Chain A
Amino acid sequence: MEIVRIPEVGEFSADEQKFMEGMKDWFRIDFVPKMSRVMRVHKDFGKGYGRATRRAMADGALSRKQKEMIAATVSAVNVCEY
């Protein structure tokens, strides 16, 4: 059980909601993940971290697939179920 309340999408500003819609396209899912919502509770932190993530995960010298493998590896080493 989460130790903080996870806001619903409708509780965020229109700009925030627009970004979250983009997040759904990015992951090809029909919902906004809890992580995306909780991190945007602090607008500047969420915006910076979110943009950094989009930038870092895009195809580049490494492919997005390879980067997702890195993300899975880090999650496994840290035993992070989420």
Chain B
Amino acid sequence: MNTVAESLSLSPEFSGEARRVPLIPLVDPLSAAPEVKQILDEAQAFFAMEWPPAVLLAMAHDWGYLADYWLALKGIFADGALDRFTKEVMAFAASVTAGSPYGTDFHLREMRRLGASERAVIEALEVTQLFNGFTKIADTLRLTPDFNPRP
């Protein structure tokens, strides 16, 4: 999502950042085909938004792709071995790391909506910052792994 959102210059959904002009037209959910609108409505409800996410409106020109992508997206964010909250924390960290204003804004709002305290947000930022440092140090020095990832 981050890649599409930033490359298309989509405005963050929640932060009130100055609006950007998308590089492609977004589908208007009010005039979308019924099968498209059904998915957009579901996504809007899933994320408890007042309007479907812009990144999905950008993908909604191709119903088949949108349907498959949404199936994947809601599946990976559903409660499973990891709960949805933890997955949103991970998505927030990924968005910060990728430097995506759209993704950071989106997943920060989701974290908060799902119950994150401000302390939790700060802790997530701390770990994200630290490990962005660790990974850059490791790559710069070409450190070879010394952990067994499957103990």
| Contact (A69, B132) CB under 8 Å given A29-B147, A39-B137 | no
Taking each of A39, A67, A70, A77, which has the highest tally of chain B beta carbons within 10 Å of its own beta carbon?
A70
Q: Report if B119 contacts A (CB, 8 A).
A: yes
Q: Is the interface of B mostly helix, strand, loop or mixed?
A: helix
Q: Are B97 and A74 in contact (CB under 8 A)?
A: yes
Interface size on A, residues (CB 8 A): 34
B contact set with A: CB distance below 8 Å = 82, 86, 89-90, 93-94, 97-98, 116-117, 119-120, 123-124, 126-128, 130-147
Closest to A69 in B: B90
Q: Are A73 and B94 in contact (CB under 8 A)?
A: yes
Determine the chain B residues whose CB is within 8 A of the CB of A70 once the complex forms. 89-90, 93, 124, 127-128, 131
Q: A3-B140, A74-B127 are in contact. List 9 more A-B contacts (CB 8 A).
A: A1-B142, A35-B143, A38-B137, A60-B120, A61-B117, A71-B130, A73-B93, A74-B135, A81-B138
CB distance from B137 to the nearest CB of A (A): 7
| Contact (A67, B146) CB under 8 Å given A49-B133, A74-B135, A82-B138 | no
Beta-carbon contacts of A25-39 to B below 8 Å, as 1s and 0s? 000010101110011
Taking each of A34, A49, A66, A69, which has the highest tally of chain B beta carbons within 10 Å of its own beta carbon?
A66
Q: Write 13 A-B pairs (CB below 8 A) sorted by A numbering.
A: A1-B142, A2-B142, A39-B137, A61-B119, A69-B82, A70-B89, A70-B124, A70-B128, A71-B134, A74-B127, A76-B94, A77-B97, A78-B132
Other-chain contact of A73, B97, B126, B138, B145 (Cβ < 8 Å): B97
CB distance from A43 to the nearest CB of B (A): 16
CA distance in complex: A39, B137 (Å)? 9
CA distance in complex: A52, B130 (Å)? 8
Taking each of B82, B136, B142, which has the highest tally of chain A beta carbons within 10 Å of its own beta carbon?
B142
